[in-house]
Amino acid sequence: MAIVELKDVTRVYRNGEHEQYALDHVDLSLEEGKFVVVLGPSGAGKSTLLNLLGGLDNPTSGTIRVDGKDITALKDDELADYRAATVGFVFQSYNLIPTLTVQENVALVKEISPHPLSSHEMIAAVGLADHVHHFPSELSGGEQQRVSIARALAKNPKILLCDEPTGALDSETGVMVLKLLLSMAREMGKTIIIVTHNQQIAKMADTVVRVKNGKIVTCENQDHPLTAEEVEW
Amino acid sequence: MAEYIARFFSEKKMADAWVLIQEDFFQATLSTLYITLMSTLFAILIGLPLGIILVTGDSKGIRPLPRWLMTFLNWVINLLRSAPFIILIVLLMPFTRLLLGSAVGDGGVIVPLVIAAFPFVARLVEGSLRELNPNIIEMAQSSGANTWQIVFHVMLPESVPSLITSFTTAITTILGYTAMSGAVGGGGLGNLAIAQGQQRSNHAVLLAALVILVILVQILQTFGTWLAKKCDRRQKNQ
């Protein structure tokens, strides 16, 4: 059963008289528990797609159903509730709060969720049990990204939306983060949606969605994706 | 120079000043502190929420408010900030009387001080909150935090050191304003300086009042800076 379903979705940005189609009549259907990579050059509409799925933006036309719910019909407050309950975000720049410890960063977001998981368990799950009382500035980039994944997971979302999660990391740390994300799909049944321009990451995906000029060029399922270790860039 | 000293610092005047310093200065200092603290407290009670609204209600804020309302709020703040305090005291007398039953005394100066200071505090709070890294707000929003949670769990806790610095600026400014309390018969060092120092030509009293005010500002500023540093967790672990 599809957890994400876009029907004829268009997002137009108006800039004076100029109209720009960030997404142009897009249809897309994604299965639950899959590791999905959305691939495309910058400006192709990847981030718009991610923001629409995350309920941070509304489409100009079309409908988006996530987990059986039409999120295009929701009001601002309902969208916040939807974000709190259903999706977790992982950003390229981690967006950790510098004045809070690892444990506090994770616990802060947990308060928002209606059905959170233990923050200690999530921190342990990303392999940072020894660093709970450290501040973000005391961690490496890869470790900070793992904290942000623990933070997203502690809300217990069905879908993890990741915007260039390895964009600021070197190849080796990037692979570790990807491996962690992949295990979230395999072991916890989360749907992982990664937006990137990195072709290599697509090789480990169950589903690869290629986006260009606001349109979906292809949406392919791969029966034998590579493991994280086999990927390199 | 000799004439100036003879006129304002004669032996008799110095003796008068010494009596005043011993008998009235302690009470006047307490009065100044009372007026300053009460005014700052109320100015923050009004200015803090207003400053939060200025940031969150902005067209690019986390909870945009109607444009006319934001324009109105900004207009009121700018208007109050451009009125000289001594004029505000006089203009607000009927309002002060309505509120307290009397337009003179310490209360007579606290009311106009609060009215003059809360727009200033609101602007300081606005500045402090706008310094926040927008990525952190974006993170809170994308996590599904509502406006309330973003303000109380992220924006305010993250701005504590900056807010303390702002409030320190506010309290020292307000302390300076209290010098005008003499105009409405409020107590304090300002009143003493004007009534005894200027009007009775005893400049030793003026200078003594000045010295105490300078010391008070130094103490408040030092304490504020120390507290802001103590609350800044980033500095501790670097």
**CB contacts < 8 A (A, B):** 64
The residue ranges of every structural domain in chain A are 33-56+88-230
Q: Which of A99, A109, A137 sits opposite B143 (nearest CB)?
A: A109
ipTM for the assembly: 0.75
Q: Is the Cβ pair B143, A99 closer than 8 Å? A: no
pLDDT of residue B191: 84
DSSP B56-123: HTSTTSSSPPPHHHHHHHHHHHHHHHHS-HHHHHHHTHHHHHHHHS-SSHHHHHHHHHHHHHHHHHHH
What residue of B is the nearest CA neighbor of A87? B143
B 215-234 near A (Cβ less than 8 A): 232-234
- B236: which chain A residues are within 8 Å (Cβ-Cβ)? none
Question: Is A40's pLDDT higher than 60?
Answer: yes
pLDDT at A18: 87
Per-residue confidence band for B181, with pLDDT thresholds at 50, 70 and 90: confident
**What pLDDT, in 10s, does the model give residues B49-66?**
999 999 999 998 999 999
Which of A91, A95, A66, A92 is CA-nearest to residue A81? A66
Residue A44 has what DSSP assignment? Answer: S
Q: Chain B residues with CB inside 8 Å of A77's CB?
A: 146
Percent of chain A at pLDDT exceeding 70? 100
Nearest residue in B to A97, CA atom:
B136
- Please report, for residues A113, B91, B99, the alpha-carbon distance to residue B45 in angstroms, rounded to integers and kept in the order given: 31, 23, 17
pLDDT at position B204, please?
85
CB interface of A with B, residues 139-198, below 8 Å: 151, 155
d(C-alpha A200, C-alpha B235), whole Å: 40
Distance between CA atoms of residues A102 and A122, nearest Å: 11
Is A78's Cβ below 8 Å from some Cβ in B? no
**Which residues does B110 contact at the CB level (< 8 Å), separation at least 6?**
B35, B38, B39, B42
Residue that has been written with the tokens 């909150």 in this structure: B129
At residue B98 the predicted structure's pLDDT band, cuts being 50, 70 and 90, is very high
Interchain CB distance below 8 Å, B144 and A89: no
B238 pLDDT band, cuts 50/70/90, is very low
pTM of the model: 0.83
Distance from CA of A186 to the nearest CA of B (A): 23
Number of H helices, E strands in chain A: 7, 10
Distance from CA of A226 to the nearest CA of B (A): 31
Q: What are the respective helix, strand and coil percentages of chain B, to the nearest 5?
A: 85, 0, 15
Would you call A158 helix, strand, or coil by DSSP? coil
Highest mean pLDDT among A33-42, A44-53, A196-205, B163-172: B163-172
pLDDT > 90: percent of chain B = 53
Q: What contacts B186, CB < 8 A, 6 or more positions away?
A: B31, B35, B104, B105, B106, B108, B109, B178
Of all residues in chain A, the one with the smallest CA distance to B134 is A95
Residue B236 pLDDT grade (very low, low, confident, very high; cuts 50, 70, 90): low
CATH code 3.40.50.300 for A33-56+88-230: yes
CB contact under 8 A, B139 and A95: yes
Of A15-24, A148-157, A199-208, B15-24, the poorest mean pLDDT is in B15-24
Average pLDDT, chain B: 89
Query: In this predicted model, what pLDDT tens digit does every residue of A141-192 receive, in sequence order?
Result: 999 999 999 999 899 899 999 999 998 888 888 888 899 899 889 988 999 9
In chain A, residues with a C-beta closer than 8 Å to the C-beta of B146 are: 77, 80
Q: Quick check: A80 and B158 CB within 8 A? A: no
Distance CA A32, CA B45 (A): 50
The CATH H-level superfamily of B2-232 is MetI-like (1.10.3720.10)
pLDDT of B194 above 90 = no
Provide the pLDDT for residue B235: 53
3-state secondary structure of A27: strand
| Nearest chain A Cα distance for residue B220, angstroms | 26
Closest by Cβ to A112, choosing from B144, B158, B233: B144
**In B131-180, which residue ranges form alpha helices assigned H by DSSP?**
134-142, 147-149, 156-177
pLDDT of res. A163? 92
